[in-house]
Amino acid sequence: MKKLPTSILQPLDWLLPAGVGAATTLRSPGLSEGKFAGLNLGTHVGDDPQAVEQNRQMLSAALGDRVMPVYINQVHGCNVIEINSDDYRKACLQTAHTNLSSDADVLYTRDQNLALVIQVADCLPILLADKNGREVAAIHAGWRGLAAGIIRHTLEKFESNSLTAWLGPAIGPCHYEVDNAVYDRFTSTTAFKPCGDNVHWMMSLETVAKEQLLEAGLDESDIVATSTCTYCHEDYFSYRREGQTGRFAALIWITSNQASD
């Protein structure tokens, strides 16, 4: 039943603004082995660094010569990094991709040909684009980031208030059990279903994110939610399903500015 994608870059079911590209990766194809088997893109999970480097090279190659992927050290905070080509050139030197040494959970850019990469295995990847294709952002949204206002912090970076959002594969309410300490951090009445023991809840990261985007002024029609559970779908890495495991990616980039060209 396992499908083997021939391409590393999986197109999204999301109507993108002209001049914007976006994709996800899956577990395969890729060169990591064992627990990380496939296209693990995370350097922080205990995998062989050489295998991760080769996987990242594969992703770089799939993006072509012009588009350069940029990775960050994700820390479940809500720090937003705005990258521009100068920063990129400084950090990148001659490599085919770069891992900015900064700790952050959001990348934002107005520059072309920089692919903002978010690595996940159950946390929610959120991609945002201005409808004129001039600004994009990628968010690593776990419960901590969502509770700390990571979406609001990201939206503050945008000049445009005409945005479209994509909520990617993440652990779903079918498998994401959290306790009262997490529940108490949110006001949502629809993102949590009681487990019946007065202590635990099944949480939907996607529902929380969607509510926060609506609250911030996006229209329902501007939010695309994949509603794909990473625990249920073995095409994706899932931390809750597997414990130590790899990370897949969601990424977005600007290819050219279209609005008034």
User: Binding residues for Zn ion, per CB under 5 A?
Assistant: 172, 174-175, 229, 231-232
- Closer residue to Zn ion, CB minimum distance, 81 or 208: 208
- Closer residue to Zn ion, CB minimum distance, 76 or 233: 233
- Closer residue to Zn ion, CB minimum distance, 186 or 231: 231
Tell me the closest approach of the beta carbon of residue 119 to Zn ion, in angstroms.
20
Asked if 134 and 161 count as a contact pair (C-beta separation under 8 A), the reply is no
Tokens 């029609």 correspond to 221
The 10 Å Cβ neighbour count of residue 7 is 11
Tell me the closest approach of the beta carbon of residue 37 to Zn ion, in angstroms.
21
Please identify the residue of the shown chain whose CB is closest to the bound Zn ion: 229
Tell me the closest approach of the beta carbon of residue 241 to Zn ion, in angstroms.
9
- Closer residue to Zn ion, CB minimum distance, 214 or 232: 232
Tell me the closest approach of the beta carbon of residue 2 to Zn ion, in angstroms.
17
- Closer residue to Zn ion, CB minimum distance, 22 or 225: 225
Asked if 206 and 167 count as a contact pair (C-beta separation under 8 A), the reply is yes
Tell me the closest approach of the beta carbon of residue 158 to Zn ion, in angstroms.
32
Residue 122 token pair: 């159950």
Distance between CA atoms of residues 171 and 124, nearest Å: 8
